[in-house]
């Protein structure tokens, strides 16, 4: 039996705006921009994707799931994401080698340090 990971569902106050933000942040393509769901993927036919759906309530607590990203240059990526509208976040993690950030709707994600040679 095979199990393929298709997408991660993201609740959003404004699915289109948040989906466009993540598409710009990740350099992904839009595969569905319907009013009730906005989907982006790395490429048209490549998964997993992110699917943004509308919810009436605003985010109020720390995410139970968040994404981690490993860039080639952490500081350059943090600067780029800040310029797109991300914010740094302090969720009580203390001093760590990663940077915790939030997207425009307050969803946390982390920008990890550069991969160390093995």
CATH number of the CATH domain containing 6? 3.30.720.120
Please indicate, yes or no, whether residues 49 and 79 belong to a single structural domain of this protein. Answer: no
Residue 101 has pLDDT above 80, yes or no: yes
Domain of residue 45: give its range: 1-58
Give residue 60's pLDDT: 84
The domain total for the chain is 2
Residue 41 — very low, low, confident or very high, per pLDDT cuts 50/70/90? very high
Q: What is the 3-state secondary structure (H, E, C) of the chain?
A: CCCCCCEEEEEECCHHHHHHHHHHHHCCEEEEEECCEEEEECCCCCCCEEEEEECCCCCCCCCCCCEEECCCCHHHHHHHHHHHCCEECCCCCCCCCCEEEECCCCCEEEECCCCCCC
Please indicate, yes or no, whether residues 51 and 101 belong to a single structural domain of this protein. Answer: no
Residue 118 — very low, low, confident or very high, per pLDDT cuts 50/70/90? low
Please indicate, yes or no, whether residues 118 and 66 belong to a single structural domain of this protein. Answer: yes
Render pLDDT for 45-94 as a digit per residue (tens, 0 to 9).
999 999 999 999 888 888 888 999 999 999 999 999 999 999 999 877 76
* Average of per-residue pLDDT across 4-33: 96
């Amino acid at each position: 039996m095979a199990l393929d990971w298709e997408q991660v569902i993201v609740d959003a106050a404004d699915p289109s705006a948040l989906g466009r933000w993540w598409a710009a942040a990740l350099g992904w393509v839009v595969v569905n921009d319907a009013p009730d769901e906005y989907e982006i993927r790395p490429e048209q036919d490549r998964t997993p994707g992110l699917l943004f759906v509308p919810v009436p309530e605003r985010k109020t607590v720390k995410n139970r799931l968040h994404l981690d990203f490993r860039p080639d240059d952490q500081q350059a990526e943090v600067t780029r994401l800040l310029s797109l509208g991300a914010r740094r976040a302090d969720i009580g993690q203390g001093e760590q080698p990663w940077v915790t950030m939030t997207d425009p709707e307050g969803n946390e994600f982390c920008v990890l340090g550069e991969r160390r040679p093995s």
